Amino acid sequence: MAKAAEFKDLGVEQLQQRADELDKELFTLRIRKAMGQVEKPLQIRVIRRDLARVKTYLRQKAGR
């Protein structure tokens, strides 16, 4: 789980890259969950919330 302050200091391109990484990781975890291979089910929630934080900062920086 990343802190919100870590995302605040990143640029738009870095935030977009991080959002893509989190999206791919979330997709992989969802597939593994469907197959019953997830070791840490809580990780899905953590990644989903981190992705929401990144997207929030992207929207804020795009509005400037």
**Which CATH number covers residue 38?**
1.10.287
Residue ranges making up the domain that contains 43: 4-62
pTM of the model: 0.86
33: CB partners within 8 A, 6+ apart: 41, 44
pLDDT in tens, 32-51: 999 999 889 999 999 999 99
Q: How many domains does the chain have?
A: 1
Higher pLDDT, 62 or 31: 31
Do 15 and 52 meet the contact criterion of CB atoms below 8 Å apart?
A: no
